[in-house]
Amino acid sequence: MLANTLSMIVIIWFIIGLLFAFNVVSRDNQFLWQVERSIAGLLEPLLRPIRRVMPDTGAIDFSPMVLILLINAVLIVLGSL
pLDDT digit string, tens, across residues 11-23: 999 999 889 988 8
- Residue 56's φ and ψ, nearest 5 degrees, are -70, 125
Count of structural domains, the chain = 1
Domain span including residue 73: 2-80
CA 39 to chain centre: 8
- pLDDT value for 71: 94
- pLDDT, one tens digit per residue, over 52-62 is 999 888 778 89
Strand, coil or helix: what is 56?
coil
> What's the pTM value of the predicted model, to 2 decimals?
0.84
Average pLDDT over residues 40-68: 91
Average pLDDT over residues 34-54: 94
Average of per-residue pLDDT values in the chain: 92
